[in-house]
Structure 1
Amino acid sequence: MSLSKLKTIFIAIFIGGLTVAIILNPEQSLVASTRGLKIWWEVVFPSLLPFFIVSELLIGFGVVKFIGVLLEPLMRPIFRVPGVGGFVWAMGMASGNPAGAKLTARIRQEKQISSIQAERLVSFTSSSNPLFIFGAVAVGFFGEPSLGILLAASHYLGNLCVGLTMRFYGGSEKQLERGKKYRLLPSIKLAFKELHLTRINETRPLGKMLGDAVISSIQTLLMIGGFIILFSVFNQIMALVNITDWIAAVFSGILSLLHLATSLSVPLITGIFEITLGNQLVSEATADLLDKVMIASFILAFGGLSIQAQVASILADTDIRFQPFFIARILQGVYSSVIAYFLFKPLYLDLKAENPNSLPVFLMEHSPDWAKDYWELTIHLGPLVTIISLFVYIYLYGKRNVFTKTT
């Protein structure tokens, strides 16, 4: 029997088994889907929507090309990606997953980067945003605001290490790059020229551009919401049929070899599928804090299969392959865990000894509870932002696709 036929049989059995499990466990499936919907409704949608819309407008008006020309002397020699990669990296860190993938796919569609460069770029621009790391994980789950500094440092340094590693990816492109010459210093004149040309070539009026940005962004976020709910249910079903416990037995042996607490095996498996619930279980596990921080760092870096499915769906519309991204997530998980191990004493123990009840002064403006307050504000206002945005989307979509056809 061919490998293709075996794959078909496996997929059919898997989907069929999942369907039967959901039918046999309707109450637990409903609770899990509600939990996934709550995460998307309160946090993911309102957090990502502004970044997605603004990014589309910045690309349309040529601001991204302007930034790309200025950052070319920095990004090209270090990461072997065009200067626009600096914009994607910054927006990815600020807005979180899967913004880096969406922006990479967008500038690839604009032909501002090659497919190999896009595969390098998407590999190190996938990250959790600071709000989630500080507000949800450090304060909400662990109850330790100062732990956010350690988690954020290990997470973003892990991104940097992945970027430096992935610069060696794509050896076949080296011959093409070898004959090209790039600027050693940024050129304001050239950057402004590219900005102006892009704006001139953009024929859509401002209202049309804004409408397109809103529709495209909300469609992507609806897809993301579907994946979050699906994997939340899938995670619950795995626990109900004891598959999680079977896999945990294997992971316990691996954790034991690494001298980490075996009690973290189930939280780790859960985090591999869904990042939020995984980190919550890590914080509740009985283990040394250092072990929990290392596992939490791995989960944050790996991103969970839920986020990776979202990225795969976004990349499917381009010629960017998913495999390099997946390998990079494993690399970042390892890098972040190791960095967390070495930074645990200077960035957590030492800082907590100096200032036990608050974050360092350089990370707070008025109150040490800024992360907690900001997180709670997002949760309270998130549903309102989501429902208003969905009504706007329905109006714009209906106006373009329904009303125009009937008139």
Structure 2
Amino acid sequence: MKQIISALPIVFLFLAMLFSPKAVFEGAESGLLLWFQIVFPTLFPFMLISGLMHAGGGINIIARLFGRMFSVLFATSKNGAFAVITGFLCGYPMGAKVSADLVRAGRITQNEGAYLLSFCNNTSPVFIMNFIVWKTLGREDLMIPTLLILVGVPVFLSLLFRRFYLKGEKHFPDVDQKDTNIRKTVDFTMLDACLTDSFESIVNVGLYIIFFSILISLPGNITADNKILAVILPTLEMTNGILMVNRLLADLSVSYPLILGLTSFGGFCAAAQTQCMIKDTGLPFLPYIIQKLTAAAAASLAGALYMRMF
């Protein structure tokens, strides 16, 4: 009986796709174009360079330059500073990938990896400025408050989340590595390994985007009257969801907080990408979802307060 119940959604999805081939094609096409035109050229170079820095010892330089400062600000170890930088600057799911890579390599503890995952896997500032503020909202006056809210909320929440992971310590310890002082030469063999790993990761991201884009396209065009679909569908994939919220809700005082909340959460597509990146690391996934939902609620509240006050 349990197997039948768990298989019902898959059977229903199969039938829906079978009887809606046009919607499936359009969803797959839009997801593929989104990945190929925006996500791939934006994310793949950062995946590659982060892999090269990890393999070639560049993380040690970042740790020396920013380790002490980030230890004071975020209570991270020196190596953990690299995950914070990439997570805030490069966008989903780079924060999760770098945190997972550091855990796998033994550069940070698993406990610190879970803490980093709680707040540094975020939307990139470039996406916020270009797609949300300029393309979707068309309001340059919202640039500063949008950036402040979407960057400031996870920074503030890190003050709360760290209490669950530090266990009375002031900051996470630096992990001793025997090979830290060994010079690693960047050669074509290393480049080939990093290219393969980065390509595999970016393809997985693309497949998730295509799948969730198909799910969004299956119900067809919806209106604000379809309250259940209007609430569920935008949460599946962030980019399409933001456009959907902006289209369905003309009142900016309502749509703006919802867009901030969705962006802070990242959508279930970004959550699936994150789970893919942290597999085989032991990093907990359910606490991550709870923490992202907390951040989404805080960002929405901050957006609603801003619209009411200004």
1:228 and 2:218 aligned = no
SS of match in other structure, 2:182: helix
Q: CA deviation at 1:327?
A: 0.9
Count of aligned residue pairs for this structure pair: 308
Once residues 216 and 102 of structure 2 are traced to their aligned partners in structure 1, the CA distance between those partners, rounded to angstroms, is 34
Structure 1 residues 74 and 9, CA, compared in 2 at 3 Å: closer, same or farther? farther
Once residues 49 and 199 of structure 2 are traced to their aligned partners in structure 1, the CA distance between those partners, rounded to angstroms, is 13
RMSD (CA atoms): 2.8
Structure 1 residues 313 and 341, CA, compared in 2 at 3 Å: closer, same or farther? same
- Structure 1, 130-139 or 37-46: larger mean CA deviation: 130-139
CA-to-aligned-CA distance 1:75-94 (integer Å, 9 cap, x gap): 44553431222221221222
Structure 2 segments unaligned to the other structure (5+ residues):
none
SS of match in other structure, 1:113: coil
Once residues 104 and 300 of structure 1 are traced to their aligned partners in structure 2, the CA distance between those partners, rounded to angstroms, is 20
Structure 1 residues 327 and 339, CA, compared in 2 at 3 Å: closer, same or farther? same
Once residues 65 and 128 of structure 2 are traced to their aligned partners in structure 1, the CA distance between those partners, rounded to angstroms, is 30
Matches within 5 A, 1:123-134: 123-134=118-129
AA at the equivalent of 1:206: D
Once residues 272 and 31 of structure 1 are traced to their aligned partners in structure 2, the CA distance between those partners, rounded to angstroms, is 19
CA-to-aligned-CA distance 1:63-121 (integer Å, 9 cap, x gap): 21332355444444553431222221221222110010110111111111121211110
Once residues 237 and 33 of structure 2 are traced to their aligned partners in structure 1, the CA distance between those partners, rounded to angstroms, is 14
Once residues 295 and 78 of structure 2 are traced to their aligned partners in structure 1, the CA distance between those partners, rounded to angstroms, is 22
Structure 1 residues 287 and 245, CA, compared in 2 at 3 Å: closer, same or farther? closer
CA contact (8 A) 2:68 2:78 kept: yes
The residue number in structure 2 matching 1:275 is 238
Q: CA deviation at 1:301?
A: 0.4
Once residues 182 and 107 of structure 1 are traced to their aligned partners in structure 2, the CA distance between those partners, rounded to angstroms, is 14
The residue number in structure 1 matching 2:41 is 46
**Rg larger for:** 1
1:321 and 2:292 aligned = no
Once residues 181 and 277 of structure 1 are traced to their aligned partners in structure 2, the CA distance between those partners, rounded to angstroms, is 38
The residue number in structure 1 matching 2:86 is 91
The residue number in structure 2 matching 1:312 is 275
SS of match in other structure, 1:82: coil
CA contact (8 A) 1:64 1:84 kept: yes
CA-to-aligned-CA distance 1:149-191 (integer Å, 9 cap, x gap): 2222111111112212210123xx626x48x9979xxxxxxxx
1:62 and 2:57 aligned = yes
Q: CA deviation at 1:220?
A: 0.3
Q: CA deviation at 1:216?
A: 0.7
CA-to-aligned-CA distance 1:273-301 (integer Å, 9 cap, x gap): 11111111222234432221100100100
The residue number in structure 2 matching 1:136 is 131
Normalised to the residue count of structure 2, the TM-score between the two structures is 0.89
SS of match in other structure, 1:198: coil
Structure 1 residues 20 and 65, CA, compared in 2 at 3 Å: closer, same or farther? same
Structure 1 residues 181 and 300, CA, compared in 2 at 3 Å: closer, same or farther? closer
Once residues 241 and 38 of structure 1 are traced to their aligned partners in structure 2, the CA distance between those partners, rounded to angstroms, is 19
AA at the equivalent of 1:82: S
Once residues 226 and 181 of structure 1 are traced to their aligned partners in structure 2, the CA distance between those partners, rounded to angstroms, is 35
CA-to-aligned-CA distance 1:8-62 (integer Å, 9 cap, x gap): 4333111121111111110111001111111001000000111111111111222
Normalised to the residue count of structure 1, the TM-score between the two structures is 0.69
Structure 1 residues 17 and 245, CA, compared in 2 at 3 Å: closer, same or farther? farther
Structure 1 residues 17 and 241, CA, compared in 2 at 3 Å: closer, same or farther? farther
AA at the equivalent of 1:200: I
Structure 1 residues 245 and 110, CA, compared in 2 at 3 Å: closer, same or farther? farther
Match of 1:209 among 182, 190, 197: 190
Structure 1 residues 197 and 315, CA, compared in 2 at 3 Å: closer, same or farther? closer
Match of 1:37 among 21, 24, 32: 32
The residue number in structure 2 matching 1:301 is 264
